[in-house]
Amino acid sequence: MLNSFNSVLTIFIMIGIGFGLTKKGFFNKETSKLFSKIVINVSLPLMMIVNIPMRFSKEKLFNSLNGITVAFLSIIATYLIAMLLSKILKIDKSKRGIFCTMITFSNAIFIGLPVNTALFGEESATYVFLFYIANTSLFWTLGVNSIRSCNSNKSNKFSGIKSLRKIFSPPLIGFIIGITLVLMGIKLPVFIENSFRYIGNLTTPLSMFFIGTIIYSIDFRKIKLDTCSYMVLFGRVLIAPLIMFISLKLFKLPVLLNQVFIIESSMPIITQAALVSDFYDINSEYAALMVGVSTVLSMLIIPIYSLIV
């Protein structure tokens, strides 16, 4: 419990520093975009390439394959329940797709990875990516189609190639390279390993600074949440983790994987939900607002779940 408390405090301090530096004018919206690009395209992939071979053996990886099955099962079940809720609550058809998507898909990497590594150590990174594979592939297929279905003008569309590119992002490529190094028993030269590790260590602080910047930019006085909004938040922080908990009971998996998956399932709404909503011109401002609010809410939920798991 003490370790979890210390880890949560570490997260909050880094976010607080990001918030304070934004308030002082050191960081701004452009800075947060730069942080996002550095983490997603550089530090996160390099961290994967170094940490996976260092933390995992072939046997441990093979024993974790059931984790991907659990992730797919849980996410699909969450989506089906979200669809049921949208009909029970009579959510407007123009909002139904984004409603289900926001409940179902979490920010597994940009926020989920640094939070998990801060809570459970770098060993948790591989389990984060097992969840990420399911979360990302289903979002760019099931999630995008769900949002798109709410637009009567369906001339805009993500092609299969574009969706594939989104799935095979730099972090996932780094993950694949790391797994390949483990399976082939390849060890990186010391100078490359050290260089990648130093750059990879930027991932957590830059991600936390990013969150601090986003929280500062939210004008809470203008936020007006309706029943749909409250249900999205309820689904993200309670329904999705509960379904994950039930799904994990169906398999005998490592304790750390169970912990990581539950934390991952309670992460904020996936950021790309706002991007896709904007592309299809479907409630993009509402989606962006909910991403921000869920990010703030997650900072309150993380300490609770970190103690529970």
Dihedral Cα 253, 254, 260, 266, nearest 10 deg: 30
pLDDT value for 163: 59
Q: What is the pLDDT of residues 166-225, one digit of tens each?
A: 667 787 788 889 889 988 989 999 999 999 999 988 888 887 888 788 778 777 777 778
Establish how many alpha carbons lie within 13 A of residue 244's alpha carbon, considering only the half-sphere containing its beta carbon. Answer: 30
Burial class (CB in 10 A: 0-12, 13-18, 19+), 31: middle
Q: Above 60 in pLDDT, residue 160?
A: no
| Tally of domains within the chain | 1
Q: What angle do CA 112, 117, 123 make, to 5 degrees?
A: 120
Domain that holds residue 43: 2-308
User: Where residue 133 sits, what CATH number does that domain have?
Assistant: 1.20.1530
Q: What is the pLDDT of residues 15-53, one digit of tens each?
A: 889 989 999 999 988 888 888 888 878 988 898 898 878
The label of the residue with tokens 């570490």 reads 10
